[in-house]
Chains A and B, each alone.
Chain A
Amino acid sequence: MQKVTCNFCTLGCETSLNESDIGVVDIKYSKSGANEGRLCSRGNALPIYLSANQRLTSPLRNGQEINWKDAFNEIISALKNYKASEIAITYDTNLTIEEYSLVSEFAKIKGITKLASSYIEPEHYFNYVLPDVKIANFDDVKDSKTFFIIGDLFSQFPVIAKAILDVRYCSKQNRIFVLDSFVTSTAGFADTFIKTDVGKEALVLLDMANLAKGKTDELKGGIEHSVLSGVLNSLNESEKAVVIASNSFGKTTDPMVFSGMAQYFASSLKGDKKFLWLGESASVPGNVDFSDILSGIKKKEIKCLLNFGAMSPVYYPQIWDYLDELEFMASTVTMMPELAKNRLSYLFMPTTLLTETGGTIKTFFDGEKKVINGVKPLSGTKCVGEIVYALAENKISVVSPGKPVIKELNLEEVLSRAANMVIPQGDYILMGEKTAYQFKGLFSEPIVIMNSHNAKKLKVKEGSVVEIKSSVGESEFKVNISDKVPERVLLVSTELPEARSLFELNISSGICEFPPIEVSVCKRD
């Protein structure tokens, strides 16, 4: 039995795995860590993920296996062909703090200034913080009396729910408020559920911040004054409260505005009030945004890209068009999506998962924490640290992990973006939700949730199959009818690759995002 830290989200839950000669077999639910060995569905998938047969075990060039020595030599000589300004480095979330420092150091030595996080989940934008926001930790959650939750926190991060429900049930005065455009399972536990129109969460938050600051201009979010001020008073009167936000891929028109408004609202509350965001992974913003890298590639200013991490950006087919313009790309990956294997002619290096690497990560439960890496790295893989050393031809000194840069959010800019936010129109809008249970499609098949009105219009029943077409792709889904989703909305789980690939990548606003989109849908027989 091997103890490990789950690496699927920032919570850092602990569990144990049974290992045999052939690798990880299954989970042994040992009562360890702040999660007491309890896991969400995602965490339950650790053994299948670690031993998945899509995991790459040898470097791959143009789909052909090559050895590590050749791979390194090829990258080293490729780097010599380009000016530092033509090279960019990206990284995603599967890096430890030590590895992140090493990658930054490597960039510095090579004179490469374009360093960006290629992690483009919307929650990434919570890493951009407003100056006067106080960030909460797990102790704050347990000591708190009142919670204002934005999004479907319980389905996305079930392991947090117990602490919140414990507080709620311990006194009649304690409250849970939920803001969302769908009726979610989190909403089912709310004392007051503020149901907004699709895409208007950020505007409601802005209204609440304005009310808190005593500004009573016209309300833009469409929620009645009495409801908002009731919630606001309750929050202000509460001895200790936390505003908690989570954000789903394909759900928010502008994730930067969403993040900004949630923080703006939290910082406008009176007394001991804190803000907390929960995301699957905490990646640090780089010197530039990933959208700058992508537009640099399109303009042929960037010709060579090195990516370190688990799998982005190859994970998003929407990005392949950009990547195809590159002259050279090398990337570490843990799993190789079948589709990418046939399409992308780059150099891939198999890397380890955090549970195999060890090192320090930032976790919600314990702050900075040493990952417990009880399981052996899959044979053939190398960790990012080792790879960076090799690419630097060992001419890199051990760097002490520096504090990752956190970017400051410009309130003025976010406010003006909020004012110009466009909510998608059209007969059918595709939106995304993320629930731990749908992790990579391991536990559930692709479903689309629509309300009974839309089902009638499309002449479909529970279980019928529909085809959804967007400007970037098409996929089939089984219909699930529920009036929890508003009219016009087709709700899919963006944990599933089939659904994820339907969303359009938008970089026009200077950030990378996947907003809700207009789609067409038809019944399949």
Chain B
Amino acid sequence: MQKRLVVDLDYCIGCKSCSSACKLTFKGENRIVVSGVETVAYLPLACRHCEDALCLRACPKEAISKDKETGIVSRSSFKCVGCTSCIYACPFGVLDSMLLRHIPDKCNLCKGDEDGPNCVSSCPTGALKFLTDEEITKVQVGKQFVSRLAFWRRK
């Protein structure tokens, strides 16, 4: 079944352990970037493996494909010509400089490793989760964050 990366904003402390785990997995550049919303929240940005992936649609060389079973959107470094169309197409800005530097492959959810993605395994607070759509509806991922946000805005 297709699983997704989920961030629990209540628990993400912006430590970037996920980034370093990803970086070391690929021995290159990390595919997950932790972005800060001031000090109120942190938002680790990784590929969403979209249902209807715009990066895939934008690619003129059919270098990007989506696996029907796992839902993983991956990019073939052989077919990619580095035109950067996908970078502009991705609405979440997760592709950023990766393609420009010609690093093979984007986030591929760690190729469906049976223990789950490394960023998730490494996350010290458990903020990053790897869940099925059904599981996602059952967890709360940012209830406390919403109240904290109001508190910080007031100040």
A: contact size bracket: 35 or more
Contacts of A109 in B (CB 8 A): none
Chain A CB within 10 Å, residue with most, of B11, B14, B25: B14
Contacts of A162 in B (CB 8 A): 11, 124-126
Mask, A51-90, CB within 8 Å of B = 1, is 0000000000000000000000000000000000000000
Q: A112: CB under 8 A from chain B?
A: no
Asked if residues B124 and A44 are in contact (CB atoms below 8 Å), the reply is no
Tell me the minimal C-beta distance from B35 to chain A in angstroms.
Answer: 13
Asked if residues A443 and B14 are in contact (CB atoms below 8 Å), the reply is no
Q: B10: CB under 8 A from chain A?
A: yes
Contacts of B23 in A (CB 8 A): 443
Q: B123: CB under 8 A from chain A?
A: yes
Bound Cα distance A168, B13 (Å)? 14
Q: A48: CB under 8 A from chain B?
A: yes
CB closest chain-B residue, reference A184:
B39
Tell me the minimal C-beta distance from A265 to chain B in angstroms.
Answer: 24
B residues 1-47 in Cβ contact with A at 8 Å: 10-11, 13-17, 19-21, 23-25, 36, 38-42
Q: A365: CB under 8 A from chain B?
A: no
Contacts of B122 in A (CB 8 A): 27, 29, 38-39, 44
Bound Cα distance A188, B25 (Å)? 30
Asked if residues B118 and A40 are in contact (CB atoms below 8 Å), the reply is no
Bound Cα distance A364, B122 (Å)? 19
Q: B78: CB under 8 A from chain A?
A: no
Bound Cα distance A35, B122 (Å)? 10
Q: B115: CB under 8 A from chain A?
A: yes
Asked if residues A41 and B11 are in contact (CB atoms below 8 Å), the reply is no
Q: A484: CB under 8 A from chain B?
A: yes
Count of residues in B whose CB is under 8 Å from the partner chain:
30
| Residue from B16, B19, B125, B152 within 8 A of A188 (CB atoms) | B152
Asked if residues B125 and A161 are in contact (CB atoms below 8 Å), the reply is yes
Tell me the minimal C-beta distance from A145 to chain B in angstroms.
Answer: 16
Tell me the minimal C-beta distance from A182 to chain B in angstroms.
Answer: 9
Tell me the minimal C-beta distance from B48 to chain A in angstroms.
Answer: 23
Given A35-B124, A39-B124, A188-B152, do A169 and B144 touch, yes or no (CB 8 Å)? Answer: yes
Bound Cα distance A162, B36 (Å)? 19
CB closest chain-B residue, reference A183:
B39
Given A38-B123, A162-B11, A169-B144, do A437 and B39 touch, yes or no (CB 8 Å)? Answer: no
Asked if residues B124 and A158 are in contact (CB atoms below 8 Å), the reply is yes
Bound Cα distance A189, B41 (Å)? 9
Contacts of B15 in A (CB 8 A): 40-41, 154-155, 158, 161, 185, 435-437
Asked if residues B42 and A185 are in contact (CB atoms below 8 Å), the reply is yes
CB closest chain-B residue, reference A442:
B20
Mask, A30-48, CB within 8 Å of B = 1, is 0000010111110111011
Asked if residues A158 and B125 are in contact (CB atoms below 8 Å), the reply is yes
CB closest chain-A residue, reference B16:
A437
Asked if residues B13 and A189 are in contact (CB atoms below 8 Å), the reply is yes
Mask, B133-153, CB within 8 Å of A = 1, is 000000000001000100010
Contacts of A186 in B (CB 8 A): 13
Bound Cα distance A48, B28 (Å)? 12
Contacts of B148 in A (CB 8 A): 188-189
Q: B121: CB under 8 A from chain A?
A: yes
Given A188-B41, A443-B19, do A45 and B124 touch, yes or no (CB 8 Å)? Answer: no
26 contacts between A and B (CB under 8 A): A26-B24, A27-B118, A27-B122, A29-B115, A35-B124, A38-B17, A38-B121, A38-B123, A38-B126, A44-B17, A155-B13, A158-B13, A158-B124, A161-B11, A161-B15, A183-B39, A185-B15, A186-B13, A188-B39, A188-B152, A436-B15, A437-B16, A437-B19, A442-B20, A443-B19, A443-B20
